Structure 1
Amino acid sequence: MISVDYAREMARYNRWQNSAVIACCEALDEGELTRARGAFFGSIFATLNHLLWADRMWMSRIADWVRPEGGIPESLTLCPTLAAWKADRMRADGRLELWARELRPAALRGELRWTSGSTGRQMSRPVATCVAHMFNHQTHHRGQVHAMLTAAGAQPAATDLVFMPEDI
């Protein structure tokens, strides 16, 4: 389904895109970041918090990261400030890239089993599917953030994977 090279490229893409989001967010005031905008998680900042929480949750299942506290409702307030979120996001992105660099094909095989907090059920899916889902989830919610940043007057950078610089 996916390869080690795919995971490495998507980890790089994740960091590249998050760096662009950080730059836009730092140009906005707190009111713009926390304003309810009709998105699934409400605001830019709540969506960013959820995304960081979800990355940690998936990596706690895939790579033994520490499981984040709370469930999806609590994910929206994971970090209290943009500065705290930025520091945690950058650390997580670095760890994700390190994980991808060290990833071996055998780690993408087999089944991942966990108890889903959102469904309350035991789940089992191929590891490769779960890794692909994590990267897809990042892209999905960053797309929402991109739209909200644009509505807030920011000018987010291109999101097209084919435009990612080689030196990222």
Structure 2
Amino acid sequence: MISADYCRLLARYNSWQNTCLVAAADGLTDSERWQDRGAFFKSIAATLNHLYWADALMLERIKGNQRPQDSITHALSSPSDWAEFKHLRTGRNAEIEDWAASLTNADLNGTTSWYPPDGAARIEMAKAICVVQLFNHQTHHRGQIHAMLTAAGAEPAPTDIPAMP
């Protein structure tokens, strides 16, 4: 299905795209980043925060932590400081790239399981599918952010993998 090389490529793509979106959002004011734009998480900033926290939760699940929400608090309003967000996002990008760099194809075999924060029954699925979900989820929300940035007058960079440096 997927390989360690696929994970390394998409981890690099994740870092590149997040950097591009942050650069485009740098041209907006803080109030413009937090403005309700009608998206699921309302604003550019809240959607970026959701992606930051969701990346941490899914990566922990893939690594075997069945209850990452016990130590990772998901908050759409945090971080609220733009400079802090940029610093934390850069660190999360590096964390994902470091994780992918150490993967072997065998690491993608087997299952992973976790308990959702809402107390529902334990979820179990193939580890490779969880990895696909990590990267697919990022792409989904970055598309929303890209659209909001464009509507706000910013000019995000291209998103096509062949354009990746």
**Fold similarity call, TM over 0.5:** yes
For the aligned residue pairs, the C-alpha RMSD in angstroms reads 1.7
Unaligned 5+ runs, structure 1: none
Q: Give me the whole-angstrom Cα distance separating, in 2, the residues matched to 1:89 and 1:25.
A: 13
Counterpart contact for 1:53–1:78, Cα < 8 Å? no
Partner of 2:108: 108
Deviations 1:71-116 (A, max 9, x none): xxx4312312111111110001011111111111111000101012
Secondary structure in 1 matching 2:124: strand
2:150 aligned with 1:150 = yes
Q: Give me the whole-angstrom Cα distance separating, in 2, the residues matched to 1:120 and 1:59.
A: 20
Q: CA deviation at 1:31?
A: 1.1
The percent of aligned pairs where both chains have the same amino acid is 46
Secondary structure in 1 matching 2:117: coil
Partner of 2:14: 14
Unaligned 5+ runs, structure 2: none
Q: CA deviation at 1:118?
A: 5.2
Partner of 1:39: 39
Aligned residue identity for 2:80: P
Normalising by the residue count of structure 1, what TM-score does the alignment of the two structures yield? 0.91
Q: Give me the whole-angstrom Cα distance separating, in 1, the residues matched to 2:118 and 2:9.
A: 29
Normalising by the residue count of structure 2, what TM-score does the alignment of the two structures yield? 0.92
Q: Give me the whole-angstrom Cα distance separating, in 2, the residues matched to 1:36 and 1:116.
A: 28
Partner of 1:164: 164
Partner of 1:69: 72
Q: Which runs of 4+ in 1 moved over 6 A?
A: none
State the aligned residue count: 162
Secondary structure in 1 matching 2:113: strand
Counterpart contact for 1:35–1:44, Cα < 8 Å? yes
